[in-house]
Structure 1
């Protein structure tokens, strides 16, 4: 079942997407290079690598807008490689688009392949040949979360740009701008909660703001955590501290209550436990801390591989209890 955050459409994300490269947040060096390409109209194949919500698609669209002006929609083909990841997509859609001339005075079109790291090896080999054959009529812009999954021949044909997670300052400024335009009262606690959950992902931050605004015009910390289906850091910290202090039954009971109230998934709980352990002074030795991190990694792997969430979380709490009992 989809969470509240997943149900929310990217309406605001699209509405407040920058129209030009100058409006892109937090990627100044990349924007500077792209503006130079656009100014000279000598774009080469590009590879954007970085986490979700850091501006990869936004930069691609902004480049198209500045290159082609009013004709930008006719001169760019957007494909999501995670949905269409086979060799037929490269042979049919991409090649068909690449064969035709561009509208306007720019001598090439743009083909934007989002989540290119999801393409199969066969599709990537076909793409490699297509990039060579149609250099005269189109340029490729590829985006990927993991650049290592793109084959070396494609990487060598592209100018590589690495997108870093946005700073809290950049995300906060964008949130305040949107809140002002939408006449929403964003409290300091609400903003801090969004920044904590988003972790540099601007799309997640905007969607959280929208989800919160759909239930209340005054966005507080409680409102944000309610719509995000996440527990407050203090709640998870309380569970960890109970287990470390030897109160396993109380810790398990508290965690069960939190999971039922918030509808949390096991994987999300483990990530929040990891965040608390790494960013909070729990008063334990470095030896215990390293052992605790090792156990968190082990149980995270188990949950991702399909083990039962509740059993693995109980087992993780048991390990935290045992680590706390050691002298």
Structure 2
């Protein structure tokens, strides 16, 4: 009996897409990770500057910071492949959150890699410290001296989400680049190309839903697209929201309608009911409600009371307070605002 044939590799419009004929399918985040600087969809200014620095053989120490999924790691990895080509693995050291980044790693592994020269390779080495904001203060202070001592032989690239967690002494030794969240127009084209390459049945409202939920995070876009396509035959608005666990826009509108028009008891019972039946978390509902309230034409005093009250509810939820109690508090905020509008 012959073993079952492996599924044929799907055609891809991306030069950086790679799959194996054996084993499970790669996550699309890795499958479609750009391998060349030209494949990146955003931050043209940053990419052009880094490209010129590489071409002029004048790359400084780098500090790349910004929200997750904005292309920081992809940019420096693509830059390293442009610099080294086939010798990439021997000339580059990558350390990320899964590695220990205490002072011992700085003194031993990083220092040893930066201090040694390759016999048949020319040029400077590149040390990539991903999620550098998780490094201990002692390790960051130890890294200062390592950077200075081995500048002739190596370049360092620190990647982080929060630049304020990097000590000023390290920041001053690096050229800083901020990676802003990606715009929806930048993501849309790449999303449709991946969907076409993977033969995903996706609707226009499904594309819009993924973009709205992504928050400018390309990693989340591809993960959500892959998860929804695996769970459902069609990637439309409803299925995207069901996969992500985020409240449906229609449900958020219903909640707002209850808060603005129902009595305290009725609004509270309906809010608890929809949260229990559909498994919505109150913080998620609060986020969507805030966006809608900000777009409403309300008197300044009423808007201030609503936002102040909703922020207090969100603050208390962040400390693990009971959601039912905070749901009652949220209803109370809207009842108070309604009373102000009647009096006014």
TM-score by length of structure 1 reads 0.90
Is residue 297 from structure 1 mapped to residue 311 from structure 2 by the alignment?
yes
Tell me the secondary structure at the aligned position of residue 319 of structure 1.
helix
Paired position in structure 2 for 1:117: 133
**Structure 1 residue corresponding to 2:324, chosen from 310, 317, 324:** 310
Is residue 284 from structure 1 mapped to residue 298 from structure 2 by the alignment?
yes
Measured after TM superposition, the shift of residue 229 of structure 1 is 0.7
How far apart, in 2, do the equivalents of 1:144 and 1:58 lie? Answer: 13
Q: Which has the larger radius of gyration?
A: 2
Structure 2: gaps spanning 5 or more residues: 1-24
State which drifts further: 144-153 or 97-106.
97-106
Paired position in structure 1 for 2:231: 215
How far apart, in 2, do the equivalents of 1:137 and 1:264 lie? Answer: 54
Tell me the secondary structure at the aligned position of residue 107 of structure 1.
coil
Tell me the secondary structure at the aligned position of residue 231 of structure 2.
coil
Q: Structure 1 runs of 4+ off > 4 angstroms?
A: 102-106
> Are 2:95 and 2:129, in contact at CA under 8 Å, matched by a contact in 1?
yes
How far apart, in 2, do the equivalents of 1:258 and 1:169 lie? Answer: 33
Count of residue correspondences: 317
Is residue 321 from structure 1 mapped to residue 335 from structure 2 by the alignment?
yes
Paired position in structure 2 for 1:50: 66
Q: Give matches, 1:84-99, under 5 Å.
A: 84-99=100-115
Tell me the secondary structure at the aligned position of residue 312 of structure 1.
helix
Paired position in structure 2 for 1:153: 169
Paired position in structure 1 for 2:178: 162
Paired position in structure 2 for 1:243: 259
Change (3 A) 1:225 1:103: farther
Measured after TM superposition, the shift of residue 262 of structure 1 is 4.0
Measured after TM superposition, the shift of residue 260 of structure 1 is 2.9
Paired position in structure 2 for 1:184: 200
State which drifts further: 67-76 or 9-18.
9-18
How far apart, in 2, do the equivalents of 1:276 and 1:89 lie? Answer: 48
> Are 2:272 and 2:327, in contact at CA under 8 Å, matched by a contact in 1?
no
Change (3 A) 1:325 1:207: same
Measured after TM superposition, the shift of residue 304 of structure 1 is 1.8
Which structure carries more relative contact order (alpha carbon 8 Å, separation 6+)?
Answer: 1
Is residue 75 from structure 1 mapped to residue 98 from structure 2 by the alignment?
no
State which drifts further: 99-108 or 154-163.
99-108
Over residues 2-30 of structure 1, what are the superposed CA-to-partner deviations in whole Å (9 max), with x where a residue is unaligned? xxxxxxx9810110011111111111101
**Structure 1 residue corresponding to 2:242, chosen from 223, 226, 229:** 226
Is residue 60 from structure 1 mapped to residue 76 from structure 2 by the alignment?
yes
> Are 1:116 and 1:143, in contact at CA under 8 Å, matched by a contact in 2?
yes
Over residues 56-96 of structure 1, what are the superposed CA-to-partner deviations in whole Å (9 max), with x where a residue is unaligned? 01101101111110221222222224763432332233223
Change (3 A) 1:30 1:261: farther
State which drifts further: 9-18 or 260-269.
260-269
TM-score by length of structure 2 reads 0.85
Is residue 195 from structure 1 mapped to residue 191 from structure 2 by the alignment?
no
